[in-house]
Amino acid sequence: MSGTPKVKVTFEIYQDSFEMLMKAGQDYKIEEISKVMRCLLDYAATDGDWEQIFGKVRCRRCG
């Protein structure tokens, strides 16, 4: 467990994104959805290619 303090945040996501986070939690036996988000953020920060993540528009709702 990290000694780094957590910061409580509030943000909005679409229902299908929430369902994806819930499914990831179930599939990987992660009880807290906030932990699922932290895993994704840690991946983006350490192993993710930011240009690949943010350089292409992937809006599933824009049509």
Contact indicator for 61, 14 with CB cutoff of 8 Å: yes
Q: How many CB atoms lie within 10 A of CB 36?
A: 20
**pTM listed for this prediction:** 0.82
Q: Round the average pLDDT of the chain to a whole number and report it.
A: 92
What's phi and psi for 57, nearest 5 deg? -75, 125
pLDDT in tens, 34-56: 999 999 999 999 999 999 998 98
pLDDT at 58 over 80: yes
Q: Does residue 62 or residue 7 have the better pLDDT?
A: 7
pLDDT value, residue 1: 62
pLDDT at 2 over 80: no
